[in-house]
Structure 1
Amino acid sequence: MRKRQQMQVHQEAAAVAAASVLQARHGMAEAPANASNACCFCWCCCCSCSCLTVRGEDETIQRSACDRRTDDANHCEDSPKPTLEDARSWTTSFEKVMKSAAGRACFRQFLRTEFSEENMMFWLACEELKKETNKTVVEERVRQIYEDFISILSLKEVSLDSRVRDVINRNMLEPTSHTFDDAQQQIYTLMQRDSYPRYINSAAYTDLLTSLEDPPPTPPPPKP
């Protein structure tokens, strides 16, 4: 068991190193020269050494900027209000929800109440990544997605099993627009099996249907 944990830590470190290479390649800010004197390069969750505390303070500042960029890129879609027929169709399958811009926006709002909005944010980021063809842009987006949703240091880390993480770590060596395909599918399945049934049975969905069923109030006639 210890050997397997060590292998996973080494693979994680390798993926982070690959992300760092991509960051340096695009002229991103690097650590100062004396950073090599840090007491460790530790990725385990139990580490409480002072170097992580100092680095954590720096990353908090950087993360706030990254969060704003990610939120801007993955903000709830400005979609029109769904029709009653569209909203009712969401009960037939999760695919109906995800294929509808209004459905994704409403479902994402529900995920926010369950503190799992990062699942939809990650899925949307992967969809945008797959549309990109410019190699330089792809590498930058892969690095950003890894930092935002895959890294164990991220506050928005999505839940992935060890097999998928191993695949990602290997893919990070040569990033492409499909680097996160396995991870995206696993998160899609997680939302489908876990959050989707609760959404369909939630007060939020019931209230949405009620609001769509009620006709808008008729404005009073203009005074002569």
Structure 2
Amino acid sequence: MDTPLLFFSQLNMCEPKEKTFFKLIHGSGKEETSKEARIRDKEKRNRLSLLLQKPEFHDDTPSSSSEHLAKKTRISPEEAMIWGESFDKLLSQKDGLETFTRFLKTEFSDENIAFWIACEDYKKSKDPQQIIRKAKAIYETFIQTDAPQEVNLDFHTKEILAKSITQPTLHSFDAAQSRVYQLMEQDSYTRFLKSDIYLDLIEGRPRRRTNLRRRSRSFTYNEFQDVKSDVAIWL
């Protein structure tokens, strides 16, 4: 039995498959090739390009994210004034802690506040295994030589911690935490009160972009390393 043959007059077997398929679906007579259509397409692309350049489409950048945070918190000048009374009052308030952390990041010294927060969380631990696990994490992150976020501690304090880390207690990091607290209070806190970040808040000025600068050498011996320091990780 002979197989029937079907012929499609609109097909050209010499043409590429992609072009042949396009003709079957859309029809060769329906292709829009007019000058007006090309102009409209170009205008659409230009409008899209301008739209993507607007600030609201770049919320992933650090500056826009922090600006959004500042607008969301809406810290009053009265609240900010309280932070200037003492370093303890600054850290005792959530907005104060977040604002001070943002300031330390401009100086590349936020490992100090991250360590202090980690110690505060550590002292709330109850389960023995949790104490051991957290103590090891804090030691490897902030204390040991060449730690990713090494804080500035004297050799004697480091040596004591190295010996006690195998059997840690809730007070293992007290001396180190106190040392870092004093460094921040005497050094960074003083500069924070004179910074644009703080002065803008107490004077009710709009938030301005802050410039990053190298941190004080009185904080740590290591140069800044590309490691994320997130306050929430220890809360």
TM-score per shorter chain, which class? 0.5 to 0.7
Question: How many residues in Structure 1 have an aligned counterpart in Structure 2?
Answer: 137
Instruction: Give the alignment partner of residue 190 of structure 2, picking from 197, 200, 204.
Output: 197
Q: Percent identity?
A: 36
Q: Give secondary structure in 2 for the equivalent of 1:175.
A: coil
- Correspondence for 2:144 among 151, 154, 159: 151
> C-alpha deviations, 1:129-157, integer Å up to 9, x for none?
00010010110011111111012122310
Residues 134-192 of structure 1: per-residue CA shift (max 9 Å, x gap)? 01011001111111101212231000011211221232131122211110000000000
2:41 aligned partner = none
Structure 1's unaligned 5+ residue stretches are 1-75, 215-224
Distance in 1 (CA, whole Å) between partners of 2:100 and 2:132 is 29
Bigger fraction of residues in helix: 1
Equivalent AA in structure 2 for residue 93 of structure 1: S
Partner of 2:153: 160
**Secondary structure of 1:158's aligned partner:** coil
**Contiguous gaps of at least 5 residues in structure 2:** 1-68, 208-235
Written as runs of structure 1 = structure 2, the 5 A alignment for 1:103-122 is 103-122=96-115
Q: Structure 1 residues 133 and 212, CA, compared in 2 at 3 Å: closer, same or farther?
A: farther
SS at match of 1:131: coil
Distance 1:212 1:87, change over 3 A: farther
Q: Distance in 1 between matches of 2:80 and 2:132?
A: 37
Quote the RMSD (CA, aligned, Å): 2.1
Alignment of 1:21-40 (within 5 A): none
Retained in 2: the 8 A contact 1:84–1:212?
no
Larger radius of gyration: 2
SS of the residue 1:187 aligns to = helix
> Structure 1: how far apart are the matches of 2:160 and 2:136?
15
TM-score normalised by the chain length of structure 2: 0.54
Partner residue in 2 for 1:50: none
